[in-house]
Structure 1
Amino acid sequence: MISRETAEHYVWGGNCDGWLLVQAAELSVIHERMPPDRQEVRHYHQQSRQFFFVLQGSLTLEVEGATHELRRHEGYEVAPLQAHQALNRSDAFVEFLVISQPRTQGDRILAP
């Protein structure tokens, strides 16, 4: 059994949190927490397919130039090679799952 309290924790982007719920070669499940006015670097994956699912708050997901506003219990699938970026444009923390198949380690390429 695993939970946010027992999972391996890491910090990214200075003050965003990630908890590694599943880290297998073919599957990754990460619970992420992003404060207001934060964003990740725009990038894409050559092999990994990802699914973003909002647990709490509101997440802006930019995919190939189109903006998607995801609210609690809404998700969006990002295919390999699609440039994307997760942003928190709200005034509250957002928590979401990022499910990747296969996992993204070594598969992240910065997008122009």
Structure 2
Amino acid sequence: MGEIGELFWQVFLAFAFLVAFLGVVYFFVRRRNPFASSKNIRVIERCYLDRNSSIVLVRLIDSYYVLLITPGGGTVLKELSESEIGHLEEAEKFSSIFFKKLGKNEKKDGS
């Protein structure tokens, strides 16, 4: 019985070290992710053409670009002018659409 108990504790300890190691890796990846959200770059809309390529509308500081993203890289298709930009980011929030469909008033952020 002593060998089985010792083997159990070795397996348990190895599993605990593995979980701790994965937790540390997860923490550092989340902290140092270079693709984390930025206040200067924002993806406004994405439309998939097929599983490997998509057209993306991106805001970069105060300019808007239409990009073609493929496995081989990205290509700027067009920079949008002020008249074309219009109300791109004034889209209705999901919560307001959801509550309209339910027939209820939208919940306010403060309540």
TM-score category, normalised to shorter length: under 0.3
User: TM-score, normalised to structure 2's length?
Assistant: 0.24
Which protein is richer in strand relative to its size? 1
Which protein is richer in helix relative to its size? 2
Larger-gyration structure (1/2): 2
